[in-house]
A and B are shown apart, each in its own frame.
Chain A
Amino acid sequence: GDSVTQMEGPVTLSEEAFLTINCTYTATGYPSLFWYVQYPGEGLQLLLKATKADDKGSNKGFEATYRKETTSFHLEKGSVQVSDSAVYFCALSGPGGGNKLTFGTGTQLKVEL
């Protein structure tokens, strides 16, 4: 079945550091890929998405590129802020099946001054 693997956290960075959170997936067909973010005490929010190979999703300075050849969708940001501290979830939805989401286990990011 479909699955998503994320790098384990927590990831601790200093403000203005470069961020990469790795995500790889296994799926049949051509899934859509997503990054969701969960800030402390809040619900899941869609951060960005990509629906086909080589698409780049971007939002709030975060980017991720859909790499079919490496089945990856790594999240990057050039300069993190303390306000980016949150848990980040990589997810996919396969064709058919109502587009239900399959999530990774999440990666906690802590950004310090």
Chain B
Amino acid sequence: DTGVSQNPRHKITKRGQNVTFRCDPISEHNRLYWYRQTLGQGPEFLTYFQNEAQLEKSRLLSDRFSAERPKGSFSTLEIQRTEQGDSAMYLCASGTYNEQFFGPGTRLTVL
């Protein structure tokens, strides 16, 4: 399968803990995006990379959130000191100029 993969698929954590998610994009794609989707809503943009450079971050991305793409391949999204409001589906997408392909998402539940 050469699609976008995300791990883990589900994460349950307690408030105040740190969590990290991984995204493996389609290999030939130099752009990688993170979005967050809450129940009944469309995905909201968080941040994007072109190769290893993080070029834009949404105002939604508080300082507890950090994303990296160290070698321009896979990416990680870390949330520090999780809050119940962070409970959501975190989606990764990779793409070329005008098309994005989404992974299955990581569902985060903060208790």
Specify whether A and B are partners.
yes
Task: List residues of A whose CB falls within 8 A of some B CB.
Answer: 4, 32, 36, 42-46, 49, 51, 89, 91, 93, 97-106
Per the bound structure, the CA–CA distance linking A79 and B31 in Å amounts to: 36
Interface core residue of B50, B98, B100 (most chain A CB under 10 Å): B100
Given contacts A100-B33, A100-B45, A106-B41, contact A46 B100 (CB under 8 A): yes
Given contacts A98-B31, A98-B48, A101-B45, contact A42 B104 (CB under 8 A): yes
Near A by CB (< 8 A), chain B positions 26-54 give 31, 33, 35, 40-45, 48, 50
The answer, yes or no, to whether B99 is at the interface (CB within 8 Å) is yes
Q: Which residues of B contact A102 (CB under 8 A)?
A: 45
| Interface of chain A: mostly helix, strand, loop or mixed | strand
**A106 touching B40, Cβ below 8 Å:** yes
Per the bound structure, the CA–CA distance linking A106 and B102 in Å amounts to: 16
Q: List 8 A-B contacts (CB under 8 A).
A: A44-B91, A44-B102, A46-B100, A89-B42, A100-B33, A101-B45, A103-B42, A103-B44
Q: Which residues of A contact B55 (CB under 8 A)?
A: 98
The answer, yes or no, to whether B101 is at the interface (CB within 8 Å) is yes
CB of B14, distance to nearest CB on chain A (Å): 26
Per the bound structure, the CA–CA distance linking A98 and B54 in Å amounts to: 10
**B45 touching A43, Cβ below 8 Å:** no
| Nearest-CB residue, chain B, relative to A98 | B48
| Nearest-CB residue, chain B, relative to A99 | B98
| Nearest-CB residue, chain B, relative to A104 | B42
Give 13 A-B pairs besides A101-B35, A103-B44 with Cβ atoms closer than 8 angstroms.
Answer: A4-B42, A36-B102, A43-B105, A44-B91, A89-B42, A98-B56, A99-B100, A100-B33, A100-B56, A101-B33, A105-B40, A105-B41, A106-B41
| Nearest-CB residue, chain B, relative to A9 | B40
**A100 touching B42, Cβ below 8 Å:** no
CB of A12, distance to nearest CB on chain B (Å): 17
